[in-house]
Structure 1
């Protein structure tokens, strides 16, 4: 009996010793730096993790937009600030000072933190109505962080990957015919007509995305046609960008 108790005691001491040793194991090597969006978990079924984002002004009335780009690092928190390197890829077509505000000259993971947020302010410019601009951000290794966690294969058949250290921001103001546009009441779609309706009717451009009530669309169409008629009678005929007179749909004439 004593031998059994003695053996169990030795076994317990060995297990406890092993646990104590394993608890002393800490992160070895320099921490990796990455874009947080590429490592997050899906929040809803069908949620797709991407290494890019689209900022579209198309169905909004704002002139500026601010996006939060979150940078993360692996390893333990540090008791001091750590700078990291974030650069604009020369292949970017977005222009600093025009499409977006210039980024800071230095970036820092603050002490006792594992993440940093970069605020990217973008501007609605006329050229974005026809051409999408791309801002490409690259994280690079420095004395504090490495970039060994570069990418992940998401399709083994095609070899398609997404990146942890390159992030693309697509900026546009390209307005296409919205799904809720009903020609019978609203007539031929144009960007100019859409935003004229936004101003005259005091509605949001997004109202025409989806399935708005046909009754409301009919009422809007009639109101707008009266507005256009009044403008014409006052010698202020509204023309489309192609020079043709703006009219609403045949169902409200």
Structure 2
């Protein structure tokens, strides 16, 4: 009796042990941008903290949906210009006709070369990228084949600024970064000696930018004039496209940097 009961209990299990049908992926290979939802909407890249770079490369991850291949394969991408404010050859290098996914690879990085120009200090620009079908890859999911890049060089007033400095402007902030090589100061009162030291470095530079350039050749900044010394352009030797205007005050004879509002930086 016990054997009969055991057999009845095992019977459903034995019947279910049929050979499973192996489901295979037999669709054509596709590519898509391997990004989070937030990054897909806007990958933000800023030159704000570095005036020295004339250009940089943003790498956008591309992933294969489907089999890997023993042969290298080509995928294609383009900029949707009607939906972009960035301009080719000014804000970014034009894309190549094709890009490679190496053999046996399931992903690649799409390089986007962007340029650091002074216009970006006042206004960011956008670049809408899209993948498109190639001889080797399809683009099955429209929601996953687009990516927007925001290119900027615009600084914003940090919370600590008013504790140690006054008269905020983006130009003054940029000069602070150049002179002190500090991205932030603390708001702790006990840090006052250290923070005031950095503030003083900036004030000394503002009072005599010519002496600062002479005393710090290792920083590779120059002052160049085309009007017999009435105005100068202050910039890093590697990137003349990002310059700050230094202008002589006719009343005092002193030179002041000019901020984004046309006011003297003090």
Q: Would you say how many aligned residue pairs link Structure 1 and Structure 2?
A: 217
The structure-2 alpha-carbon separation of the partners of 1:238 and 1:144, relative to structure 1 and needing over 3 Å to count, comes to: same
TM superposition shift of 1:165: 0.7
Residue number among 101, 106, 111 corresponding to 1:109 in the alignment: 101
Q: What is the distance in 1 between the residues matched to 2:73 and 2:204?
A: 63
> In structure 1, the residue corresponding to 2:108 is in which secondary structure?
strand
TM superposition shift of 1:50: 3.7
TM superposition shift of 1:79: 2.7
Deviation per CA, 1:119-161, whole angstroms, max 9, x where unpaired?
A: 222121011111211111111223433323222xxxxxxxxxx
Q: What is the distance in 2 between the residues matched to 1:216 and 1:88?
A: 47
Deviation per CA, 1:103-126, whole angstroms, max 9, x where unpaired?
A: 222123222222121122212101
Contact 1:56–1:174 (8 Å) recurs in 2: yes
The answer to whether the aligner puts 1:18 opposite 2:19 as a matched pair is yes
Contact 2:63–2:108 (8 Å) recurs in 1: yes
The answer to whether the aligner puts 1:119 opposite 2:111 as a matched pair is yes
Contact 1:182–1:217 (8 Å) recurs in 2: no
Gaps of 5+ in 2: 211-251
Aligned match of 1:156:
none
The structure-2 alpha-carbon separation of the partners of 1:114 and 1:220, relative to structure 1 and needing over 3 Å to count, comes to: closer
Aligned match of 1:250:
none
Q: What is the distance in 1 between the residues matched to 2:262 and 2:81?
A: 40
Contact 2:175–2:202 (8 Å) recurs in 1: no
Residue number among 175, 195, 203 corresponding to 1:217 in the alignment: 195
Aligned match of 2:30:
32
Deviation per CA, 1:33-53, whole angstroms, max 9, x where unpaired?
A: 2101148xxxxxxxx564430
Gaps of 5+ in 1: 40-47, 152-163, 248-253
Structure having the higher strand fraction is 2
TM-score (norm 2): 0.67
Q: What is the distance in 2 between the residues matched to 1:218 and 1:69?
A: 41
Aligned match of 1:148:
140
Q: Pairwise mapping of residues 166-205 of structure 1 onto structure 2 (< 5 A)? A: 166-182=146-162, 185-201=164-180, 203-204=181-182
Residue number among 54, 69, 72 corresponding to 2:60 in the alignment: 69
Aligned match of 2:265:
246
Contact 2:95–2:112 (8 Å) recurs in 1: yes
Contact 1:186–1:217 (8 Å) recurs in 2: no
Contact 2:40–2:146 (8 Å) recurs in 1: no
